[in-house]
Amino acid sequence: MDTLSVNKSHGGTLHVVRHASRETGTDMTFSVFLPPQADGGAKCPVIWYLSGLTCTHANVTEKGEYRAACAELGLIFVAPDTSPRGPDVPDDDAYDFGQGAGFYVDAMQAPYAANYRMGSYIRDELPDIVASAFPIDRERQGIMGHSMGGHGALTLALANPGRYRSVSAFAPIAAPSQVPWGTKALGRYLGPDRAAWRRHDAVALIEDGARLPELLVDQGEADAFLEEQLRPDLLRAACADAGIPLTLRMQPGYDHSYYFISTFMADHLRWHAARLFN
């Protein structure tokens, strides 16, 4: 690993790190915030934050306003990139596919299968890499994300029961197999067999029997993508049918941006902390 920067913040330290990934075959960059409670190597609960379309680790790192709450609560916060990157990595001219749009799946179709392995990267490789250098408590993990990253957080948690003690999302793509962003990405990464898509669709996973102890979701009512791409109504219905306790907060006037995310970030971190320290 190469440390790109270290900055003091709210009594803790923010690290930006690059490493060579075995899953993606590329260099990957992520940020880690260590709260002051981690001084001396004391293990702390960890929150994995998955970002949305077009983002890198830097979006939430610079605009998410999470460090004060993490420092107060004693949470380590890890923000990875959203896809492999580089001149030899297959890409697309559109913003919603290719680099910056990995959708947290392991691609099965050429030419994407060699590099676009973000599911295995987030689930398997990244936790090992982070644990090798930072004092995360892998018995106390939470996961959260925004938009495409909300989709990733929900599906990874649903597909790996018991891995994460707490799960939340901001404006997640709740049913990607039923919306344009998702059908494009899942079709091109995974192929035409829609049965394979269901393992990467939160609503479908719940319909097929996957469960979470509880879930927190915030959604802006002024979000331009609400009705066509995000569909929290489908998530609400699936959770109700499955008996999953869902707190879905529709926030008047808020859009899809980091102005929205940063407003409710501390609420989410306190919600996670209440479950990770229980």
| Catalytic position from the list 15, 256, 268, 272 | 256
**Which pLDDT band, with edges at 50, 70 and 90, does 95 fall under?**
very high
Query: If you average pLDDT over residues 127-152, what whole number do you get?
Result: 98
- Distance of alpha carbon 148 from alpha carbon 29, whole angstroms: 18
Look at residue 153 and tell me whether its pLDDT is greater than 90. Answer: yes
Residue 218: the pLDDT is 98
Look at residue 108 and tell me whether its pLDDT is greater than 90. Answer: yes
Per residue in 170-205, pLDDT (tens digit) is 999 999 999 999 999 999 999 999 999 999 999 999
| Catalytic position from the list 21, 51, 83, 147 | 147
256 is a catalytic site residue: yes
What the block records as the tokens of 227 is 């009705």
151 is a catalytic site residue: no
Residue 70: the pLDDT is 98
Sheet holding 2-9: strands in order across? 2-9, 12-20, 27-34, 76-80, 44-50, 136-146, 166-170, 215-220, 246-251
Query: If you average pLDDT over residues 35-46, what whole number do you get?
Result: 97
Judge whether 143 and 153 are in contact, CB under 8 Å.
yes
For residue 126, what are the CA distances in angstroms to 32, 53, 59, 130? 12, 20, 19, 6
At 223, give phi and psi (nearest 5°). Answer: -70, 120
Residue 145: the pLDDT is 98
All structural domains of the chain with their residue ranges: 2-168+251-276
Give percent of the chain above pLDDT 70.
100
93 is a catalytic site residue: no
Residue 134: the pLDDT is 98
Give percent of the chain above pLDDT 90.
100
**Which pLDDT band, with edges at 50, 70 and 90, does 28 fall under?**
very high
| Catalytic position from the list 83, 106, 223, 268 | 223
pTM of the model: 0.98
Residue 195: the pLDDT is 96
Residue 277: the pLDDT is 97
Residue 69: the pLDDT is 98
To 10 degrees, the CA torsion angle through 19, 25, 26, 27? 0
Per residue in 193-243, pLDDT (tens digit) is 999 999 999 999 999 999 999 999 999 999 999 999 999 999 999 999 999
DSSP result, 58-71: HHHHHHS--HHHHH
For domain 2-168+251-276, the question of CATH label 3.30.70.270 is answered with no
Residue 278: the pLDDT is 86
Residue 32: the pLDDT is 98
Query: If you average pLDDT over residues 155-179, what whole number do you get?
Result: 98
